[in-house]
Structure 1
Amino acid sequence: MSGATILMLVVGAIAIAAAARRYNLPSPLVLVVAGLALSFVPQIPNIELNPDLVLFGVLPPLLFNASLDSSYLNLRANVRAVALLSVGLVLFTTVVVGAVAFWVMGPSLGWPLALVLGAVVSPPDAVATTAIARNLKLPRKSLTILGGESLLNDATALTAYRVALLAAVGSGVSVVHGFALFGMAVGVGVAVGLILGAAAAWLLCKLSDSLVEVAIFLILPFGAYALAEHFEGSGVLAVVTAGILIGRKMPKMHYATRLQGGSVTATIDFVLETLVFGLIGLQLPSIIASVHDRSAAQVTLLVIAVTLTVLIARIVWMFPATYGPRKFSKRIRERDPAPSKAVIGVLAWAGMRGVVTLAAAYALPLTMDNGQELKGRDLVLLCAFVVVIATLLLQGLTLPWLIRRINLPVDEDQADALAEAQAAQQAAQAAVDRLEEIAEAELPTGSTIVDDLRTSAESRANAAWERLGPQDESRLETPSELYRRLRRDMLHQERTVYIQERDSGRIDDEVLRRVQRELDLEEAMLDR
């Protein structure tokens, strides 16, 4: 793709996503449908997905940013469930889909390439899952499990893909060798992520230059991915490990880094997500062209069988994987009570595939080691495309309906508000105690500064308690809400005056920008 084509894609995807957000529609699904529709327009050029663009240019920053926002404590508390999905389910799906594909196509596909197909379609996509699930009202534990699975399952799938591909192209690889490659990929990936993540976290905590720190955030995921892949490790695991480690250290970094870094990463996520979902639908012409000489009946049977197997395999795996460990372990039953069948049903239906599946399919070589054509590559491409479209549209469109239908109990908001209020009370008391110490040593008696600071600390604590709900149900606004509304009006008036002063030439643009930033930061605090 040329630079002009990429620019047109990005601009078009952002425009479609903006319209979808404006009307409260799921932008990933709208982008996929728009791409499919545009693929039928004759004037649209044939755009083939570049696997390097996705696996190296798009996946690392998206995984890294998602890892920064993940909870290390929640992931550790749910490590068994996450591992059963990100490793166990991926390998199970790889084998089952491979067996079904080989059963349908036989020698024309072959066992190795059938397993390649299984590995390609096995992992739910981190981009798709995050983009669709972030607005769904799910219990926090379910979101943690889905997020952890989507962060780690690509590493399992891409490693299994490598091993199966070696066999498909003619490179001798035994089962023992395959496990050795898998172990090396995991070990090297985690080691690289820990080393780079620890070094970057130390540096970020020492620096106080937010621009340099944000630049480190932007460079690190690409460096971790490239270094791990260079040493035959899992680049995905390296990026995720580094992101979780740095996310754990984020509260100790400079506040400007968190403010600017959050804005930058949110913008990057939005642009990259819109681009990849727009690209998915545009792949239709090249996919259809690749299978023009195949039997339509057999190809149709294959794609239907593979798609159904992908959907059913997750459901079949989910219930035994959830209830099996608890049945055989009293310790697990006591420490982690079984979730309801409704929750398991939602998790079983949240297996959207995405751009990583397509990128892995496109990355298949055209020829084997002996120079002969890799027969069956076109079938892998077609099945990957159909599975991605089917899961995105079928599961992505019905998942919100399913959640509303079964009415999942989500009661964390009140508990969070209570915990925050209690912590805010302790923090305010600690701040006031420190203020009293400093005031006694350095400030004159009766200083208004002390009273102002004490009032500010107490107001923050009171605001946290008010989020539990107004004490007087007849009041439409809590005192903090009233304060924020009035202060926003005052800030708007202040901005108006400063702009008028700039327009009249009495102050310079530089003065306006400096004051504007101060007013913006205060308004951002009001919106928290």
Structure 2
Amino acid sequence: MNGLRSLGLMQACLLAAAVGGAVAGTRLAYVHLVPSLLQAIHRRREGSTRWAGARQRMPIAWGGVRGAVSLAAALAVPEHTADGAALADRDVVVFTTAAVIAGTLLIQGQTLPRVIRWARLEEDLSEADEERLARKHVVETALTVLPAHAARLGATPDVAARVERELNEQVRLLGTDKEPAHHIERDLRQALLDAKRSALVDLRDGRRIDDTVLRRVQETLDTEEVWLARREAAARSRSRLPAQPSLRADSPAEDG
């Protein structure tokens, strides 16, 4: 404010308020009018299609706060012209830009959470469907190529059958809308996994196995836990349940 000489403080504040209103209004108009125009064109060509309404577009329109880029552009305005004369009203440009930035941060930024709640945004179910499709497709592909790879690698029938059962279980989880005992089974598997880890550390602490054996068995348990996590992720992608907190108990600390 000390460098503001071209205008009085009250005039500069009124100018900044007008520019800030124009900036916010332009963004509101663009975000609402352009999608409506595209929606009308698209509907005329391809029939009725579900688009986000004005209420759902409001957070995008209201979230257009100004920041460092705007301030840098204002400060980049040279102080003098090519012939060495002072550039008129540069101080007004910098003041107005800073005031608009402060206004958008204080007004739009502080009220944005309320606008988001007011918009009542719906969950994007199409993304969940696509994720479920992708997971099911890759598992079904694995089932298709399983016999050929089992024969190439010389896997025994028992090994191939066990892998096939696991893959079929994944398909079942992805293809059904019911999970009557899924969470109980998950908790049981996790509890057993924690018991395995504790028993393994007890063996090492009792000097019945060394650290090398401990790490080898831990790798197997880690693989089992990764499989359990992926199985849970597949179930969540099917039902879109919120992520559950980790149930793994803290394992005993390892020495060295």
Fold-level similarity (TM above 0.5)? yes
- 1:304 maps to a residue whose letter is A
- Structure 1 CA distance for aligned equivalents of residues 222 and 64 of structure 2: 44
Unaligned runs of 5+ in 1: 1-287
Indicate the residue corresponding to 1:356 in structure 2. 69
Asked if structure 1 preserves the Cα contact closer than 8 Å seen for 2:6 and 2:89, the reply is no
Report the alpha carbon displacement of residue 437 of structure 1 after superposing the two structures with TM.
0.7
- Structure 1 CA distance for aligned equivalents of residues 174 and 192 of structure 2: 18
- Structure 2 CA distance for aligned equivalents of residues 314 and 303 of structure 1: 17
Q: How does 1:252-267 map to 2 (within 5 A)?
A: none
Asked if structure 1 preserves the Cα contact closer than 8 Å seen for 2:74 and 2:94, the reply is yes
Q: How does 1:140-219 map to 2 (within 5 A)?
A: none
- 2:97 maps to a residue whose letter is A
Asked if structure 2 preserves the Cα contact closer than 8 Å seen for 1:346 and 1:402, the reply is yes
Q: Residue by residue, what CA displacement relative to the aligned partner does 1:216-263 show, whole Å, maximum 9, x if unpaired?
A: xxxxxxxxxxxxxxxxxxxxxxxxxxxxxxxxxxxxxxxxxxxxxxxx
Q: Residue by residue, what CA displacement relative to the aligned partner does 1:30-64 show, whole Å, maximum 9, x if unpaired?
A: xxxxxxxxxxxxxxxxxxxxxxxxxxxxxxxxxxx
Unaligned runs of 5+ in 2: 234-256
- 2:4 maps to a residue whose letter is V
SS at match of 1:405: helix
Q: Does 1:497 align with 2:181?
A: no
- 2:148 maps to a residue whose letter is E
Asked if structure 2 preserves the Cα contact closer than 8 Å seen for 1:326 and 1:332, the reply is no
Q: Which has the higher contact order (CA 8 A, sep 6+)?
A: 1
- Structure 2 CA distance for aligned equivalents of residues 521 and 380 of structure 1: 63
Report the alpha carbon displacement of residue 296 of structure 1 after superposing the two structures with TM.
1.0
- Give the alignment partner of residue 526 of structure 1, picking from 229, 232, 235: 229
SS at match of 2:183: coil
Q: How does 1:280-299 map to 2 (within 5 A)?
A: 288-291=1-4, 294-299=7-12
In structure 2, relative to structure 1, the CA distance for the partners of 1:447 and 1:333 (3 Å cut) is closer
Q: Does 1:457 align with 2:164?
A: no
Report the alpha carbon displacement of residue 439 of structure 1 after superposing the two structures with TM.
1.5
SS at match of 2:47: helix
- Give the alignment partner of residue 183 of structure 2, picking from 477, 480, 502: 477
- Give the alignment partner of residue 140 of structure 2, picking from 417, 429, 446: 429
Indicate the residue corresponding to 2:107 in structure 1. 394
Aligned-residue Cα RMSD (Å) equals 4.0
- 2:164 maps to a residue whose letter is R
- Structure 1 CA distance for aligned equivalents of residues 223 and 99 of structure 2: 47
Indicate the residue corresponding to 2:124 in structure 1. 412
- Structure label with greater radius of gyration: 2
In structure 2, relative to structure 1, the CA distance for the partners of 1:460 and 1:524 (3 Å cut) is closer
Asked if structure 2 preserves the Cα contact closer than 8 Å seen for 1:484 and 1:526, the reply is no
Structure with greater helix share of residues:
1
Q: How does 1:443-454 map to 2 (within 5 A)?
A: 443-448=154-159, 450-454=160-164
Q: How does 1:106-145 map to 2 (within 5 A)?
A: none
In structure 2, relative to structure 1, the CA distance for the partners of 1:319 and 1:299 (3 Å cut) is same
